[in-house]
Structure 1
């Protein structure tokens, strides 16, 4: 939380790689590559191609083939899938009247800079730790990319008990307007009580009809029943200094959301994610199929 997140940079790399190498895309982040320096991109590429020995022992092929295998199998399924899921849900929410989009722990999210025409009716708020927010804005400044007029930056440490005051102090934020919130890639790294408190804090900012989209690991993630990909992912992020901490059963998650007056509007498991979000890409690239990540579910919850 106090320095650039390695997992956030790798996530941006995976989105950039996918956008550059595929005519049919699961998610098209055409700006992600510009956020990374050439040195960062080349370094991540080299490290991940060498990591094939860890992720897939016995692999035989070129360095580029190894990189593609690691990206498609290990790195990109969740960043691509959850972003596609979130932005589809956002489009539907905007069509139904949502007028604020809050991106929590925004990291290197680029929606505000590639927003479609329908998003002009939204006020967009990127909420992130001051260090991460400053790093992203420095990168955008280096790209000479001016913030769009409907974008607001909010620096806030979401671990602080009163972080909501930073949102309420933003001149563009209206707590009475129906909003849509994304909280992607966060539940993994918080203890259960921390995640519950964060969700509760977000809900306190929203009127009825507002939505929250997030991804989360299931209850088998930290057990011997977890798939090989999941086990190796746990080891990888732990080595990066960002260990995962909690997983949830569907029933446990539903109870927690119910306590906050949230109902589950949409829920996808890995099989459903692959079928709904990855089908067109997989039809176009049968030699490089991508499957949704083991034990990772997506959820859209709406405040009653």
Structure 2
């Protein structure tokens, strides 16, 4: 955690690649490419093109075709799908009176810099580990984008108990205001007790009617029943120095949320994600279809 997150950089790369190479998009992150230097973008492209031998040993084709295959098959499904799911749910929450958006482990999320008109009444809080937060601010500053008036950056280590005090210390944050929180790409990397405690603290922080959205690996992720992509993703994360640590069954997750006063409002399995979020893209780009990632579900829950 002393260095910027490698998985966050790869996620930004996958969003950038998808935005640049497709007219019809699952999720359009128009700024992701600008956050990456040419050297980083080309370096990740080269590494992932060569990684086709790891992900699909039987593949035959050019380096460019190999890169497209790795991105569409392995890298993009989760970053694209969960971002689309979260921002669609956020827009609905705003119409239902949410006025604060807390982005936990924000990484290289660009929502604050491409926010739609419906978000102008939101106060946006990016909460992330100091190393990644500082690196992102450096990148944004180099682009001369300017900091939106409704954006507030909070540095905090979510594995440490004092992260809550960092949020409460932000003058713009109001714990009495209905809020929407995204915890994308987090549940994989925290022990179960730490993730449950994080949900509990969020529940204590926000009023009834507030929402949380997150993705999580199912109970088969670390077993022989996991899909081939999931098994390779577990290996890749470990090699990147960010090993996955937990997985959940639906009933287990439901019980955890119940204990911290949240009710599941929407839950999508991989087949439902593909059908609901990727349909338009797949119909218009049949030669490069994308399916939701094996063993990963999306959840939207509301505090009672």
State the TM-score bracket (shorter-chain normalisation).
Answer: over 0.9
The superposition leaves residues 181-221 of structure 1 with CA deviations (integer Å, 9 ceiling, x where unpaired) of 00000000011001101111111110000000000000000
Q: Please name the residue that 2:241 is paired with.
A: 241
C-alpha RMSD over aligned residues: 0.5
TM-score (norm 1): 0.99
Q: Please name the residue that 1:116 is paired with.
A: 116
Q: Please name the residue that 1:105 is paired with.
A: 105
Q: Please name the residue that 1:254 is paired with.
A: 254
Is structure 2 residue 62 aligned with structure 1 residue 66? no
CA distance in 1, matches of 2:83, 2:64: 25
Q: Please name the residue that 1:145 is paired with.
A: 145
Aligned pairs (5 A) from 1:216-235: 216-235=216-235
Q: Please name the residue that 2:94 is paired with.
A: 94
Q: Please name the residue that 1:128 is paired with.
A: 128
Q: Which moved more, 1:95-104 or 1:154-163?
A: 154-163
The superposition leaves residues 230-254 of structure 1 with CA deviations (integer Å, 9 ceiling, x where unpaired) of 1111111110001101100000000
Q: Please name the residue that 1:202 is paired with.
A: 202
Which segments of structure 1 move beyond 4 Å, counting only runs of 4 or more? Answer: none
Cα distance, 1:58 vs structure 2: 2.0
Q: Please name the residue that 1:301 is paired with.
A: 301
CA distance in 1, matches of 2:120, 2:172: 14
CA distance in 2, matches of 1:189, 1:107: 14
Q: Please name the residue that 1:181 is paired with.
A: 181
Q: How many residues align?
A: 304
Aligned pairs (5 A) from 1:284-295: 284-295=284-295
> Secondary structure in 2 aligned to 1:181?
strand
Cα distance, 1:162 vs structure 2: 2.2
In structure 1, stretches of 5+ residues that fail to align are none
> Secondary structure in 1 aligned to 2:205?
coil
Q: Please name the residue that 2:2 is paired with.
A: 2
Cα distance, 1:132 vs structure 2: 0.8
CA distance in 2, matches of 1:147, 1:199: 29
The superposition leaves residues 154-178 of structure 1 with CA deviations (integer Å, 9 ceiling, x where unpaired) of 1111111121011111010000000
> Secondary structure in 1 aligned to 2:120?
helix
Q: Please name the residue that 1:265 is paired with.
A: 265
Cα distance, 1:131 vs structure 2: 1.1
